[in-house]
């Protein structure tokens, strides 16, 4: 980013973190010039220690020094300060909050299983993550090859345990719910995307960067039609 452009703040992030993708979706949609600091996944706590004991990504530091943590509150704050809260505004606040909660619970819980839900996709994903993140050379390799049985065996299985669905079925089920809610409209927000659209879009983009995993999501026609509309609207 050029020095001549005044930035609105700095995003401390991981390239593959779904919560980081949510905030990126908003910043890109509003076309706000900002800095991005890619932290080492093994040193998150230290890298964001200025945000107290939060210890996670993303963290947002506003140009005036204000620090905001947690992806949805970060999105709301950026929208409030730089966009008069227009994306968060809704004629039906209860509906908005219900679907933010839906996305931050169900989309979040579906993300790990689609990436790591079987041993092959787990290996693909840890290798892909090690390429996309700024690990040290050795830890990156170690993560790629030693991380996948852990992600697959422990983490992904735990997340799908209660749904009775495999990771692909779970995504298709969620995209059914999402596209039914959107109905005849182009977006959740009506004819334009709103904050909820951008939250769901962010979760989906975090899967899209791992093409093998995303190919399972891509089979959902209505979901992908919305996703493509988001790409156009966000460009």
- The piece of 13-21, 76-84, 177-185, 215-223 that touches ligand GSH (CB under 6 A) is 13-21
Q: Does 17 bind ligand GSH (CB under 6 A)?
A: yes
* Shortest Å distance, C-beta 226 to ligand GSH: 22
Q: Is 207 in the site for ligand GSH (CB under 6 A)?
A: no
With binding defined as CB under 6 A, does residue 205 bind ligand GSH? Answer: no
Query: Is 107 a residue that touches ligand GSH (CB under 6 A)?
Result: no
Question: What distance in Å separates the CA atoms of residue 232 and residue 229, rounded to the nearest whole number?
Answer: 5
Give the nearest distance from C-beta 19 to ligand GSH in angstroms.
Answer: 4
* Edge-to-edge strand ranges of the sheet holding 35-38: 35-38, 9-13, 59-62, 67-69
Structure tokens at 91: 């004629």
**Between β-strands 59-62 and 67-69, what pairing exists: parallel, antiparallel or unpaired?**
antiparallel
Site string for ligand GSH, 18-47 (x = CB under 6 A): -x------------------------x---
Q: Is 14 in the site for ligand GSH (CB under 6 A)?
A: yes
204 burial class (0-12, 13-18, 19+ CB within 10 angstroms)?
Answer: buried
Rule CB under 6 A: say whether 56 interacts with ligand GSH.
yes
CB of 36 to ligand GSH, least distance (A): 15
Rounded-to-integer distance, Cα 220 and Cα 173, Å: 10
Task: Select from 28, 38, 55, 229 the one that contacts ligand GSH (CB under 6 A).
Answer: 55
Q: Residues with Cβ < 8 Å from 118, sequence gap 6 or more?
A: 152, 167
Query: 21, 29, 61, 71: which one contacts ligand GSH (CB under 6 A)?
Result: 71
**Beta carbon of residue 150, minimum distance to ligand GSH (angstroms, whole number):** 14
3-class SS string, 87-120: CCCCCCHHHHHHHHHHHHHHHHHHHHHHHHCCHH
- Neighbouring CB atoms inside 10 A of 181's CB total 14
44 or 182: CB nearest ligand GSH: 44
Measured from the CB atom, the residue of 19 and 99 that comes closer to ligand GSH is 19
DSSP for 121-183, written as a single string: HHHHHHHHHHHHS---HHHHHHHHHHHHHHIIIIIIHHHHTTT-S-HHHHHHHHHHHHHHHHT
Instruction: Give 18 or 223: the residue with its C-beta nearer to ligand GSH.
Output: 18
- Number of residues lying near ligand GSH (CB under 6 A): 10
The binding site for ligand GSH (CB under 6 A) comprises: 14, 17, 19, 44, 55-58, 70-71
């Amino acid at each position: 980013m050029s020095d001549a452009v005044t930035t609105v703040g700095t995003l401390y992030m991981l390239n593959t973190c779904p919560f980081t993708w949510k905030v990126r979706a908003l910043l890109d949609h509003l076309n706000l010039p900002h800095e991005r600091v890619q932290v080492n996944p093994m040193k998150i706590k230290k890298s964001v220690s200025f945000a107290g004991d939060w210890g996670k990504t993303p963290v947002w530091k506003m140009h005036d020094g204000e620090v905001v943590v947690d992806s949805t509150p970060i999105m709301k704050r950026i929208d409030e300060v730089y966009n008069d809260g227009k994306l968060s505004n809704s004629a039906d606040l209860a509906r908005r909050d219900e679907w933010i909660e839906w996305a931050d619970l169900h989309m979040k819980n579906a993300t790990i299983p689609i990436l790591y839900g079987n041993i092959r996709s787990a290996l693909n994903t840890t290798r892909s993550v090690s390429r996309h993140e700024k690990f040290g050379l050795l830890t990156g390799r170690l993560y790629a090859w030693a991380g996948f049985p852990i992600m697959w065996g422990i983490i992904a299985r735990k997340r799908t345990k209660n749904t009775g669905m495999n990771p692909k079925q779970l995504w298709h089920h969620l995209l059914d719910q999402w596209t039914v809610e959107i109905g005849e409209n182009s977006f959740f927000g009506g004819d334009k995307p709103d904050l909820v659209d951008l939250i769901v879009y962010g979760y989906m983009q975090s899967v899209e960067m791992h093409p093998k995993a995303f190919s399972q999501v891509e089979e959902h026609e209505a979901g992908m039609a919305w996703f493509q509309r988001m790409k156009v609207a966000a460009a």
